[in-house]
Amino acid sequence: MNLLEQLQARVIAQVPGVETKIEAPLRENGVWWLDVKLREQTLAIEWSRWQGFGVSSLPSQGLGEKPDETYTELEQATARVLELLREGKRTVLHA
């Protein structure tokens, strides 16, 4: 189980009613994607071994070039995703 799959498992275990969908990359070294939905809130999370986690609320305020927020550690990403879902917050676009 990779780190994005671990994040998915933690979110499912801690947030009742959450829906998730994971998408593996076509190439072994590609980017994994996780969509997380709770009621009207949707998060797009990307992960790769080299860049860590990228988290964006949908629709994103950015232009789709990079995630709104980035995290290198599973614990950081998990804490932020849980905060966003539990408190109904949106990600903050970092310039």
Domain around 39: 3-87
Beta carbons within 8 Å of 59's beta carbon, 6+ residues apart: none
Whether pLDDT at 70 is above 70: yes
Is 92 part of any domain? no
Is 33 part of any domain? yes
- Under DSSP, the state recorded for 91 is -
- pTM of this prediction exceeds 0.75: yes
> In angstroms, what CA-CA distances link 89 with 30, 41, 43, 95?
29, 9, 11, 19
Whether pLDDT at 24 is above 70: yes
Is 93 part of any domain? no
Is 26 part of any domain? yes
Is 94 part of any domain? no
Whether pLDDT at 62 is above 60: no
Q: How many domains does the chain have?
A: 1
Is 31 part of any domain? yes
Q: With cut-offs at 50, 70 and 90, classify the pLDDT of residue 64.
A: low
**Residue 65 has what pLDDT?**
73
